[in-house]
Structure 1
Amino acid sequence: MLTLPFNSRDEPEFRKGQDLTFTFARQARPPEAKARSTLLRILQTTDLHGHVLAYDYHRNTAASDRGLSRAATMIAEARAAADLCLLFDSGDFLQGSPIADRLAASGTPELTSHPVISAMNLVGFDAVTLGNHDLDFGLEHLAQALALADFPVVSANLHLPGRLGERVQRHRILERRSPGCTNPIRIGVTGCVPAGTLLGMAGLDPQIRCEPVEPALRGAIAEMRAAGAELIVVLAHCGLGRDDEPEASETIDKTIARIDGIDVILGGHTHETYPPAGPGTATELAGHQAVVMSGAWGAYLGQVDLHMSCATDGAGSWHVKNRDVKCPRPTSGAGEAPELIAELAEDHAATLAAYGAAIGETRRPISSFFALVEDNAGLQLVADAFAERIATAMQDMGLRGRPVLSMIAPYRTGQRAGAHHYCDIPPGPISLRDVDTLYSFPDTLCALDVSGADLRMILEMSASVFTRVAEGARDVPLFEPAFPGYRFDVIPQLTYQIDLSHPALYDQRNQCMRPGPGRIRALCHEGAPVDDDARFVLAASSFRARGGWPARADGTSGAPNLLLDTGQTCRRILREYICAHSPLDRVARPTWSFAPLAGARVLFETALQARPRESSPIKRVGANSDGFAVMRLDLSAPRGERS
């Protein structure tokens, strides 16, 4: 038996003597005579993001909080306990883990295998939909990967060109025959992805067309019902629809649950779990459908049990008699499926070798532990790499003269992703693994034409991640919980202060809540105040260039004009910059700070291993039950040396 470097406590239970057979094929119990009812079990994963194995490639260690390999064990057990069982995925399965991203980064001309698709084929998915990140590596890579899939891909509203348009179906009707019944159950399956999520490369590609979700789903449901579907399942790559979600226009509660004719909604995108844990089950939002969201990375398995009934002779149509919606179960206690480990052994070994290779060196540690509260050397490293590449491109285009700035946000700041989700590069060699912790997505680098007013707007939106703090406030939370850390953009070529005594100007959807003045003070470039009419070139990722801009007063998009998309990924540009400038000896230069507030102290979370410098106004006060260190920041203290 093949053994990979996983802890013994991660081994499947059968290795300790239990006789357990993992059967991934779609299966049913042996026929029973004249059945009149049956249990149809629906299982869901979503937002796998390439985490097919229970391994953290960035920390180079086994992980209990992820892995289709763990979920596969629970899937096999759930199938064995049901008359009929279907397994679906709600999108974002191809991108997000080094074992998957490595193939796209290598520029392989023709894929003959793909670890994510191989794993999903082995486990036996019945259908999937596409999420926004499944398009991150371009249409050709997506087409080659999906050509290897043994399962249908459905989307009611996403229209793709060429062979992808043929591969991605508007809907699919699956037939599953219950033991003892003449007629099969006809299950109609479709999917959707909101256009507002297609940022980055997908949003800039004119070949990709994304219809509004509601009319597309209504049309697909009508077509499936007309074709004889007795049950409708929607694989929805969108969140529940709380007001604090940044993309809250096309969501489950506000859109999909209000559409008639849907029986089951399997959501995703926001990495949430639903129904919530606790006594009882939650089965309804705005409508009367069964709704499940199973988190991300294979850390949870969603389940809906539908008790179906047919005519007494077993030859009539099927209908749902009752249903049982389970709170998504964590997979952390399950052993890994050995067949899946064996299937991916070569991909796993190749990924470890590629991501461990040194590309440069740093003489000082680089981390994101305090990137949300003070100047950060890691963020400035990425920003400098972006600005240098765009400055060269502007010269090549004959656009000299304008100052070139760059915006960047920290992508690994703990929060919902957990207490280990930080960048932490010690002095010594820098590997591709480290580059991925500095910049985690396959976005391309773009150049925007911006004004001084645009820069102020960007920074005001960024400053909205913080709570309002009054003078004399004691140990109040620093961050608004609805804002993820990657919403905090900095522009290190500028200097400015953030005044937390003022309310934020923008909400979670980047919509302006009130007129200024806002929180940004003393905004300067090279020591001179930034005039609203001044013109700059701003280096930004394609993700930022494409979306997240508030509407102008006349209702038009507030997005700045796109000057250039380099077509080169931000990670590649960062990697080349590190190679060219090693050994690195980075100390954060002073750019932004909080405006002093007399007597005010705030609390925030960071990694347990984070250590503030003695000169810093940050002090550790303890740890919480979620595994984070709790820090206190004295806002009345002067700014000390930065990390």
Structure 2
Amino acid sequence: MPIHLSRRHFLAASGAAMATLHPYSLRAASNQAHLRIMETTDLHVHVFPYDYYADRPVDTLGLSRTASLIEGIRSEATNSILFDNGDLLQGNPMGDYIAYERGMEPGQTHPVINAMNTLDYACGTLGNHEFNYGLPFLANALEGAAFPLVCANVAVKLGATPLQDETLIAPYVILDREITLGDGSVKPIKLGVIGFVPPQIAAWDRAHLEGKVVVREIVEAAAAYVPQMKAEGADVIIALCHSGIGEAEAVADQENAAIPLAATPGIDVVLMGHAHRVFPGTDYEGTEGVDTVAGTVSGKPAVMPGFWGSHMGLVDLMLEHDGTAWKIAGASVEARPIWIRDADNKVVPTVGDVAVVQAAAQTEHDATLAYVRRAVGQTSAPLYSYFALVADDPSVQIVSQAQLWYVAQLLQGTEYESLPLLSAAAPFKAGGRSGPDYYTDVPAGDIAIKNVADLYLYPNTVQAVLVDGTQLKNWLERSAGMFNQIEAGAQDAPLLNPTFPSYNFDVIDGVTYQIDLTQPAMFETDGTVANPDANRIINLQYNGAPVTADQKFVIATNNYRAGGGGSFPGADGSTRVLIAPDTNRDALVRYIVEEGTINPTADGNWSFAPLPDTTVTFETGPKAVDYVDQVQTIAIEHVGDGENGFALFRIAL
């Protein structure tokens, strides 16, 4: 069947419609064809343009908005095809409602799959978050898809080579299509589509996957399967790479493998995801092997369209047939947004909603709203994360209190009961690439499930690890990579490292410590050691006494961190002493129910070491001005507007 409408349709269309055609469609010769490849990625169950945590509509996300781009984008090209790059099933309260409340039985269709089925997807792949709810849930969800899904590097049984693996789902698919040429005639083409997921899923979801699946390196799997796809006649090979841009060469356990994957002979186009960034664009300027203007990775056209439906990824190919084979004669790349900012930094939507997409998930949307609005207790003070990266914070404090309460009960009667119990928690909603409204902000009073989900975004499970004093200190050194090195006497120096994710900024409760910003960071953002002799963490104490190197501690955390997520010293999967059956979020709900009224006031157990005559600045959400006077542990003042809708604040150190 044709990939899309024939050129004859466009010749009969209005002059206005003709004017929108891409140059490749306009100038394609009789042996050429314009193929437009479209990509969505990291939807994370966002069908509606709705923030369930804040319980309000928003204009920056939602498949129903991204879908508004699709018909217009298709009308610009003689031939088009649509793919998804994974992370569909988890990421907002609708995903949790389906997993924990409604369930996912055989014959039921997941709402995000149901919505996607209205849009004529040709193929998709799995993201790492597809595994968060377990393999039976995943299998039942995929059953409802009206399009194939592929993943080449996850196997239920390993063979001697990747080609002998028994993969969890099909490693690739060859799509037989007919493509319309410049003269209106059609010609057959075989599109090979292969998918990949980060190998870290084996650690991140160990509880669901251990003993059930094994994961190969992305580049290893590609090197094996791509020649086979070529042998089966694939004319163009498209890699659905649920992985971002990282090291230039293939390395062991490579999470972001797009550069060496794109360099794999035979791969023609790379559709990227996982990193929640936009490419082409400025995010990867200066990265070896990447052209951020042309939109190429290792010389191949590649795109990454943000997250939550924020962009549609477009790769336009001018294909040319020489009488025996197809080749790519030209390519252009774009990540097209569903919203922009105006001159006043206000969000302006560029599209509306597609009713049929919303209708496909309306029942579950309504049920999710009822689910998140249930009250489970009260909070005596507001819960907000505007200052979570610069001062001890109530939104992180309450998570730690719940983890300590939960883990202490499970350690009773064990050999670890008498050891000091600490808790590691990080701020998940702290602005960054997600924008100036991406913060927790819960007023004092009733606290509902939506507020709990807002405090703890992910369905992680509670775990605990055993560490010594050195590992504890270096765990905190790893977290302190959040901050730039500051010279004593500096004025308004930028404080926060923009490449450091907030979910890796662990605050450890149960000890007190200071952070010396004049020291370099011990670790790079990715967790590799940069300065082994660095000493940012000072005055580390437990019960008022200095922590010693051989002192033992149990740290309550989550399965992601305990299994090696973030590359933290003392947390590599081998130090776990507790693997609990409940999610951190469930523990938080139980704690609130048990307490009735929680007191989330931060205890100020960490701070910056004083630096006389030194000031730093940081950006946070503009609503932070309502809470700045409540921060008691550090002197913060609002100094004006930041960039892209953020507010700028100053700290006198």
Structure 2 partner of 1:205: 209
Residues 146-196 of structure 1 deviation map (CA, whole Å, 9 limit, x = unaligned): 11111111112122479x977621110001112465642100000112213
Structure 1 partner of 2:405: 388
Q: Name the CA distance, whole Å, in 1 between partners of 2:319 and 2:578.
A: 56
Structure 1 partner of 2:155: 159
Structure 2 partner of 1:187: 191
CA shift at 1:399, angstroms?
Answer: 3.8
Aligned pair partner of 2:6 in 20, 29, 54: 29
Alignment gaps of 5+ in structure 2: 12-28, 159-164, 284-290, 340-348
SS of alignment partner, residue 239 of structure 1: coil
SS of alignment partner, residue 87 of structure 1: strand
* 1:267-278 matches, cutoff 5 A: 267-276=272-281
- Asked if residue 584 in structure 1 is aligned to residue 561 in structure 2, the reply is no
SS of alignment partner, residue 147 of structure 2: coil
Q: Check conservation: 1:496, 1:523, Cα contact below 8 A.
A: yes
Structure 1 partner of 2:581: 567
Q: Check conservation: 2:125, 2:151, Cα contact below 8 A.
A: yes
* 1:131-530 matches, cutoff 5 A: 131-160=127-156, 168-179=169-180, 183-196=187-200, 199-202=203-206, 205-206=209-210, 207-241=212-246, 249=254, 251-252=256-257, 254-276=259-281, 282-283=293-294, 285=296, 287-310=298-321, 316-330=324-338, 332-397=349-414, 399-530=416-547
Q: Check conservation: 1:283, 1:291, Cα contact below 8 A.
A: no
- Change over 3 Å in CA distance of 1:504–1:69 after alignment to 2: same
Q: Name the CA distance, whole Å, in 2 between partners of 1:586 and 1:62.
A: 28
Q: Name the CA distance, whole Å, in 2 between partners of 1:298 and 1:376.
A: 31
Would you say how many aligned residue pairs link Structure 1 and Structure 2? 601
Q: Name the CA distance, whole Å, in 1 between partners of 2:252 and 2:227.
A: 27
CA shift at 1:587, angstroms?
Answer: 1.9
SS of alignment partner, residue 374 of structure 1: coil
SS of alignment partner, residue 405 of structure 2: helix
Aligned pair partner of 1:613 in 616, 623, 629: 629
Aligned pair partner of 1:110 in 96, 105, 108: 105
- Which segment drifts farther, 171-180 or 209-218? 171-180
CA shift at 1:505, angstroms?
Answer: 0.8
Q: Check conservation: 1:549, 1:558, Cα contact below 8 A.
A: no
CA shift at 1:586, angstroms?
Answer: 2.9
Using the size of structure 1 for normalisation, the TM-score is 0.88
CA shift at 1:442, angstroms?
Answer: 0.5
CA shift at 1:292, angstroms?
Answer: 0.7
- Change over 3 Å in CA distance of 1:257–1:531 after alignment to 2: same
Residues 485-531 of structure 1 deviation map (CA, whole Å, 9 limit, x = unaligned): 11111111101111111111111121222232511111111112111
- Change over 3 Å in CA distance of 1:210–1:172 after alignment to 2: same
Aligned pair partner of 2:645 in 613, 617, 627: 627
Q: Check conservation: 1:200, 1:444, Cα contact below 8 A.
A: no
CA shift at 1:128, angstroms?
Answer: 0.9
Structure 1 partner of 2:343: none
CA shift at 1:254, angstroms?
Answer: 3.6
CA shift at 1:107, angstroms?
Answer: 6.3
- Which segment drifts farther, 412-421 or 328-337? 328-337
- Change over 3 Å in CA distance of 1:590–1:95 after alignment to 2: same
Q: Write the letter of the residue equivalent to 1:591.
A: N
Q: Write the letter of the residue equivalent to 2:5.
A: A
- Which segment drifts farther, 172-181 or 55-64? 172-181
Q: Name the CA distance, whole Å, in 2 between partners of 1:181 and 1:289.
A: 28
Q: Check conservation: 1:156, 1:171, Cα contact below 8 A.
A: yes
Q: Name the CA distance, whole Å, in 2 between partners of 1:383 and 1:595.
A: 23
Structure 2 partner of 1:20: none
* 1:50-65 matches, cutoff 5 A: 50-65=45-60
Q: Write the letter of the residue equivalent to 1:441.
A: Y
Residues 445-477 of structure 1 deviation map (CA, whole Å, 9 limit, x = unaligned): 001111111110110101111111122110001
Q: Check conservation: 1:175, 1:184, Cα contact below 8 A.
A: yes
Structure 2 partner of 1:11: none
Q: Write the letter of the residue equivalent to 2:82.
A: L
Alignment gaps of 5+ in structure 1: 1-24, 636-643
Structure 2 partner of 1:93: 88
Residues 526-568 of structure 1 deviation map (CA, whole Å, 9 limit, x = unaligned): 112111111111111101011246598xxx9955511121121
Q: Name the CA distance, whole Å, in 1 between partners of 2:253 and 2:409.
A: 39
Q: Name the CA distance, whole Å, in 1 between partners of 2:601 and 2:536.
A: 26
- Change over 3 Å in CA distance of 1:368–1:94 after alignment to 2: same
Structure 2 partner of 1:126: 122
- Change over 3 Å in CA distance of 1:252–1:325 after alignment to 2: farther
Q: Name the CA distance, whole Å, in 2 between partners of 1:557 and 1:69.
A: 40
Q: Name the CA distance, whole Å, in 1 between partners of 2:368 and 2:157.
A: 31
- Which segment drifts farther, 498-507 or 108-117? 108-117
CA shift at 1:74, angstroms?
Answer: 1.0
Q: Write the letter of the residue equivalent to 2:650.
A: R
SS of alignment partner, residue 123 of structure 1: coil
Q: Name the CA distance, whole Å, in 1 between partners of 2:393 and 2:252.
A: 28
Q: Name the CA distance, whole Å, in 2 between partners of 1:479 and 1:298.
A: 27
The CA RMSD over aligned residues, in Å, is: 2.7
Q: Check conservation: 2:301, 2:315, Cα contact below 8 A.
A: yes
- Which segment drifts farther, 481-490 or 220-229? 481-490
- Change over 3 Å in CA distance of 1:516–1:322 after alignment to 2: closer
Using the size of structure 2 for normalisation, the TM-score is 0.87
Q: Name the CA distance, whole Å, in 2 between partners of 1:613 and 1:477.
A: 22
- Change over 3 Å in CA distance of 1:31–1:517 after alignment to 2: closer
Structure 2 partner of 1:39: 34
CA shift at 1:101, angstroms?
Answer: 2.2
CA shift at 1:400, angstroms?
Answer: 2.3
Q: Check conservation: 2:134, 2:208, Cα contact below 8 A.
A: no
CA shift at 1:250, angstroms?
Answer: 5.0
CA shift at 1:203, angstroms?
Answer: 7.4
Q: Write the letter of the residue equivalent to 1:496.
A: Y
Q: Write the letter of the residue equivalent to 1:299.
A: S
Structure 1 partner of 2:14: none
Q: Check conservation: 2:462, 2:579, Cα contact below 8 A.
A: yes
SS of alignment partner, residue 47 of structure 2: coil
- Change over 3 Å in CA distance of 1:451–1:291 after alignment to 2: same
Structure 2 partner of 1:12: none
Q: Name the CA distance, whole Å, in 1 between partners of 2:406 and 2:564.
A: 22
- Change over 3 Å in CA distance of 1:415–1:549 after alignment to 2: closer
Structure 2 partner of 1:19: none
Q: Write the letter of the residue equivalent to 1:194.
A: P
Q: Name the CA distance, whole Å, in 2 between partners of 1:444 and 1:71.
A: 32
Percent identity for Structure 1 against Structure 2: 35
Q: Name the CA distance, whole Å, in 1 between partners of 2:166 and 2:382.
A: 47
Q: Name the CA distance, whole Å, in 2 between partners of 1:76 and 1:69.
A: 12
- Which segment drifts farther, 101-110 or 118-127? 101-110
